[in-house]
Structure 1
Amino acid sequence: MDKITAATGLSKATIYKYFLSKENLIAQALDAYGKSAIEHLTEVMNDDSLSLEEKLSERFETLRQSLAVDAFNGCYFQLAYSEFCNAEENITDICTLYKQRRVSMVCNLLETHNVENAQEKAVRAELIFNGLIATLQISKDPTLIDIARDMYMDVINR
């Protein structure tokens, strides 16, 4: 909360007045960030000027850019789920739904492009992407992005 008050200039009392608790603030922030991320992903996936590979590769490039400017801290949803998995059902539900929605979006994209076994491939591919995010949080090694992207595309193209 100290970082939030310092960054916003708001007092803790003001923050608690509107969010009631730190956990509610986190839940609302995750929900807002998730909606924004899904909206961006939807725009990319609906861009008819991009090939399937370009659409799927966009998130890898976003990770690369985040690492380049030292703005990558891992997946907010994975971090929040790890911290609150046994304590805050609202937070864990938001995290779970976000991850499920991403798999569903990839599956729908694959189906649109007539990729066989779209559901299984979407699950496998997103497992690779999530593993990359978890690994990058520790290693910050940008060469892993290309390796994971190739693995991701191998799953899709099988």
Structure 2
Amino acid sequence: MTGRTRSAAAGAAAAGVWALQEPLDQRVFRCDYSDVAILGKALTGGQRWRPAGLVLHVANGVAFGLFYHEVRARWPTAPRRLALGLALGEHVALYPLTHLVDRLHPRRGTRGIPPLLRNRRAFAQATWRHALFGVVLGRLA
């Protein structure tokens, strides 16, 4: 397996771990926030939102794994530290875009899509999820 393929597969696996543990962190953080729901319910309002969201989430993981591979080739940092740093950096950089989810998502307010921008529990949840993703990516890539 090439380094690029391994990183893509690691990103997919890390996204899968994230998605599988979402029900647990929803209970721990007492917040009904789901990235899989945000993605899937953006595509469909029917029963198929979960598989659609999972496919999109894993595809995003693959893309992030490929991004990680390219940065890793150019940046002299410990690979696991780099994966965690990139994942947390993405979280901090992109979380303000939840404002768009709060205002424009076609199914905002439904299960899995609470108001996010000023939701401290959701922010903490997203921090945990990105850290988990980074650790798994760094371990597998």
TM-score (norm 1): 0.28
Q: Which has the larger radius of gyration?
A: 1
> Could you say which structure has the greater relative contact order, defined with CA pairs below 8 angstroms and 6 or more residues apart?
2
